[in-house]
Structure 1
Amino acid sequence: MSGKFELKKAKDGQFHFNLLATNGQVILSSEMYKAKDSALNGIESVRKNSQREGAFETKTSSNDKHYFLLMATNGQVVGQSQMYASAASCKSGIESVQKNAPSAVIDDQTS
């Protein structure tokens, strides 16, 4: 089984998606989008940018947890990871996005 994008609709009517690894764990979450087409464009941006050199920025939160941001070429955040206990596990999360995003199917749960 490959990874998948879960496209969802929030209670306020906005759209968002999560990229799940083959084990079902969320490895990347999107921002909220007003339109479904915008969320689908966000998924395509994740597919493209996950393969681009320098697209990932690693960060450390105020409680010393590690996370990463996936950036578009225009500098906008395309997605954010969960919090990781170590820098090594954060790096593994990036590698999982790089591996799973290009071929991940879209599971549209908005209907």
Structure 2
Amino acid sequence: MGKFVISKRKNGEFQFNLKAGNGQVILSSEGYTTKVNCMKGVESVRKNSHDESLYEKKTSSNGKFFFNLKAKNGQIVGNSEMYESESSRNNGIQSVKSNAPDASLDDQTLE
């Protein structure tokens, strides 16, 4: 089962990573100035992960494949890693769809 890991960056911003059951990061967030907003990002991924139309499939300048997951308002809530092939990227999207809705929460920012 997947899990959202919330951590704090060196610059003080909060971020989350969605990890698959094998521990591999399948989606990463941008930095958030507050933990509340980071948690809203997690909820947005949970809520929107099933909607195929919210996945933006991209190719980087070096020919690698990746995707962004957008909220309904068009804002990017998560980015994937870089993949060597389109099929690997598509597998990554399926992994987000299957892991995000029921993923547990691992808040590593608790002091």
- Scaled to the shorter chain, the TM-score interval is over 0.9
Task: Tell me the secondary structure at the aligned position of residue 51 of structure 2.
Answer: coil
Superposition RMSD in Å: 0.6
So what's the TM-score if we normalise by structure 2?
0.97
Summarize deviations over 1:86-109 as a string: whole Å, max 9, x none. Answer: 000000000000000000001000
Number of positions where the alignment pairs a residue of Structure 1 with one of Structure 2? 110
Summarize deviations over 1:67-102 as a string: whole Å, max 9, x none. Answer: 000011111001000000000000000000000000
Matching of residue 31 in structure 1 with residue 11 in structure 2: no
Pairwise CA distance, 1:53: 3.5
Whole-angstrom distance in 1 between the partners of 2:10 and 2:60: 28
So what's the TM-score if we normalise by structure 1?
0.97
Runs of 4+ in 1 over 2 A off after TM superposition: none
Q: Which residue of 2 aligns with 1:48?
A: 47
Q: 1:79 to 1:62 in 2, by over 3 A?
A: same
Task: Tell me the secondary structure at the aligned position of residue 57 of structure 2.
Answer: strand
Percent of residue pairs bearing the same amino acid type: 57
Task: Tell me the secondary structure at the aligned position of residue 57 of structure 1.
Answer: strand
Q: Where in structure 2 are the equivalents of 1:62-73 lying within 5 Å?
A: 62-73=61-72
Q: Which residue of 2 aligns with 1:10?
A: 9
Q: Which residue of 1 aligns with 2:82?
A: 83
User: Which runs of no fewer than 5 residues in structure 1 stay unpaired?
Assistant: none
User: Which runs of no fewer than 5 residues in structure 2 stay unpaired?
Assistant: none
Pairwise CA distance, 1:55: 0.8
Whole-angstrom distance in 2 between the partners of 1:41 and 1:110: 16
Q: Which residue of 2 aligns with 1:107?
A: 106
Whole-angstrom distance in 2 between the partners of 1:25 and 1:3: 9
